[in-house]
């Protein structure tokens, strides 16, 4: 069992990240929450706790190693000062540097071994873009930081996995229009994603021979070309190549019959072809507890499977369930990795 804490980033200061972090700490004993520390502005968190009517002690720390000693009695916060006071629900681009700084420091702590894993609170990308943020999103920035700080020749390929209970899905394409999905798919893309998934299921979830099901793109998985050519021209060749190399991959399966309970018992993960095909099943199975796990990075990173929820910020209505599951998942993967290390 890892004794190192989990580093939790600030996220968008105007969003619900602070609230769900506070609420997770309040149930630390009842729900056996893994030890974590916030990289955030202590004044913001104290003001937010007062606004929400949460009477809890906060403890400023100077080093992650201090978190474990204080966690039972106070929420540990490693200071990351905001440029301006944060107002729930109101974006302020002047605070973008603090958001980015929180992420950068968290990655430093995980790479150095001072923290065991990273849980990122949701960011508001538009606010970062307005401040000159050059990356498409959170994961691309994390990949860049890993490349830079570890001296890698190329940035790792981050892959988004969504997980809840017995269901894990990966979308082959993410935030692009549906009309562009077919053109974005390729044999190499599908092969690469399946390879990363198989390695992650082995290394992060201790599944020795992972079974991966692959959806088709078209209704009824194309009906042998009658409803589309992508299955025959892209998806099947990728599956056949990886099966020949020894991976336990099946498909393409019709997506409409792949996610009921009996079907879920037949695989350990699903590669879906587009965003909603992967996310709808996760949110249907358990809307509140889905977790975003980033595969392919040299560090452990999870995140709640929701956004900044600016409309809920400061109201006390935000659920910490997904954030808590992200903490549990990061802790679980950390322990799987620890068990694989030579003694």
| CA 273/CA 217 separation, integer angstroms | 6
Are 36 and 101 in the same domain?
Answer: yes
Are 154 and 179 in the same domain?
Answer: no
Using the structure block, give the residue that is written with the tokens 């099946």.
250
- Which class for 40: exposed (0-12), middle (13-18), buried (19 or more C-beta within 10 A)? buried
pLDDT, residue 318, reads: 95
Let me know if residue 85 belongs to a domain. Answer: yes
Are 182 and 134 in the same domain?
Answer: no
CATH code: domain of residue 48? 3.40.718.10
Let me know if residue 84 belongs to a domain. Answer: yes
Tokens of 186: 């390729």
Q: Are strands 291-295 and 301-304 parallel, antiparallel or unpaired?
A: antiparallel
Are 89 and 225 in the same domain?
Answer: no
Let me know if residue 39 belongs to a domain. Answer: yes
H or E element at residue 247? none
Tokens of 218: 């078209």
Are 247 and 179 in the same domain?
Answer: yes
Number of domains in the chain: 2
Are 215 and 127 in the same domain?
Answer: no
- Helix 187-203 and helix 236-244, axial crossing angle in degrees, nearest 10: 50
Could you tell me the pTM of the whole model? 0.94
- CB-CB contact of 123 with 44 (8 Å): no
Q: Decide which of 239, 255, 282 is a domain's last residue.
A: 282
List, run by run, the mean pLDDT of 10-residue segments along the chain (343 residues).
Answer: 87 97 95 97 96 94 96 97 95 94 97 97 91 87 94 93 95 93 96 97 96 97 87 97 97 96 96 96 93 96 95 94 97 92 58
Are 132 and 173 in the same domain?
Answer: no
Are 212 and 138 in the same domain?
Answer: no
Q: Closest Cα partner for 5 from 64, 73, 61?
A: 64
- Range of the structural domain that residue 219 is part of: 166-282
pLDDT, residue 89, reads: 95
Q: Closest Cα partner for 293 from 188, 167, 134?
A: 167
Are 64 and 130 in the same domain?
Answer: yes
pLDDT, residue 342, reads: 57
Let me know if residue 291 belongs to a domain. Answer: no
| CA 255/CA 9 separation, integer angstroms | 35
- Which class for 304: exposed (0-12), middle (13-18), buried (19 or more C-beta within 10 A)? buried
């Amino acid at each position: 069992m890892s004794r190192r804490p989990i580093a939790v980033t600030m996220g968008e200061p105007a969003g619900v990240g602070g609230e769900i972090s506070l609420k997770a700490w309040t149930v630390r004993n009842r729900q056996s929450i893994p030890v974590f520390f916030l990289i955030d502005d202590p004044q913001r968190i104290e003001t937010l706790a007062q606004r929400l009517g949460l009477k809890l002690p906060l403890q400023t720390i100077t080093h992650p190693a201090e978190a474990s000693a204080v966690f039972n009695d106070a929420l540990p916060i490693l200071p990351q000062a905001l440029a301006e006071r944060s107002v729930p629900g109101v974006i302020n681009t002047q605070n973008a540097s603090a958001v980015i700084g929180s992420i950068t420091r968290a990655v430093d702590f995980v790479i150095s071994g001072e923290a065991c894993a990273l849980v990122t609170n949701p960011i508001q990308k538009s606010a970062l873009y307005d401040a000159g943020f050059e990356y498409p999103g959170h994961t691309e920035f994390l990949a860049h930081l890993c490349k830079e700080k570890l001296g890698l020749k190329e940035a790792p390929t981050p892959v988004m996995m969504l997980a809840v209970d017995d269901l894990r899905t990966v979308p082959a394409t993410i935030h692009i229009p549906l009309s562009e999905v077919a053109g974005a798919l390729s044999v190499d893309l599908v092969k690469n994603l399946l390879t990363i998934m198989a390695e992650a299921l082995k290394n992060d979830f201790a599944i020795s021979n992972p079974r991966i099901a692959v959806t088709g793109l078209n209704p009824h998985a194309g009906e042998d070309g009658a409803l589309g050519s992508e299955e025959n021209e892209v998806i099947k060749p990728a599956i056949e190549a990886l099966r020949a190399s020894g991976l336990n991959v099946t498909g393409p399966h019709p997506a409409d019959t792949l996610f009921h309970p009996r079907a879920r018992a037949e695989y350990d993960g699903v590669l879906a072809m587009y965003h909603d095909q992967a996310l709808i099943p996760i949110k249907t199975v358990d809307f509140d507890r889905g977790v975003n796990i980033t595969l392919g990075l040299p560090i452990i990173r999870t995140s709640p499977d929701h956004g900044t929820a600016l409309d809920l910020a400061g109201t006390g209505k935000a659920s910490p369930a997904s954030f808590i599951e992200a903490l549990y998942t990061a802790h679980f993967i950390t322990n799987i990795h620890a068990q694989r290390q030579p003694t």
